[in-house]
Homo-oligomer: A and B are copies of this chain.
Amino acid sequence: MKNLTKRQSEIFNFIKEEIESNGYPPTRSEISRTFGFKSPNAAEDHLKALKKKGVLDLAAGTSRGITLNNESSGIPVIGLVSAGGPILAEENIEKTLPKNPGILSHGVDFYLKVKGDSMIDVGIFENDLIAINKNLPVKTGNIVVARINNEVTVKTLLKLSNKLVILKPENSSYEDLEINPTKESLVFEGTCVGLLRDFS
């Protein structure tokens, strides 16, 4: 989506809220009434601008024929991460799951399908989906998704300093990873905010 102006965002959000609360989009008149426009054409102009910017679609000759585009592209499930590219690269996306607002206390940017048994002591098993937020501040004690020398791994972050990062597998048969971030490439891809397991 292109950059919406402040006013356009207001209009867009109003439409979104109306759909949320009523179950159907507003008319030009309703938009105008809400924003104090004296002409329904003001709303028409805004809708055209929003359509031009691609955030919604308008069905010609159709009352309330507003379809939001932005809304529901789902949350990607990342399976095996191929080396090199970004974790959310399309080739890594196994499928998408619907958004589930309100179930977890933090937002979820993607799910990562767990490989291996390095976290079984905290109840994270192979093929579980862990919910990742990629914008939370990386904090010791949290379970993080780290990329070390282009390999993605899930561990508990034990220590975080300029010269030493310690990542702890939650499985007594594995040893802690000690990384010197000045010598090895280390990127934090996100923090684990939840776990999802499907018994099918």
Contacts and interface: CB of A to CB of B under 8 A. Distances in A.
Interface string A2-27: 00000000000000000100111101
Contacts of A103: 97-98, 100, 196, 198
Interface string A50-67: 000000000100011111
A19 B25 CA distance: 11
Contacts of A22: 59, 65, 67
Dominant secondary structure of chain A at its interface with chain B = loop
Bin chain A's interface residue count.
35 or more
Contact of A25 (B24, B67, B124, B142): B24
Given A142-B199, A199-B193, A68 B23 contact: yes
A161 interface: no
A198 to B, nearest CB: 5
Nearest to A74: B102
A63, A128, A193, A199: which has the most chain B beta carbons within 10 Å?
A: A199
Interface of A: 19, 22-25, 27, 59, 63-68, 97-98, 100-106, 120, 122-125, 128, 142-143, 192-200
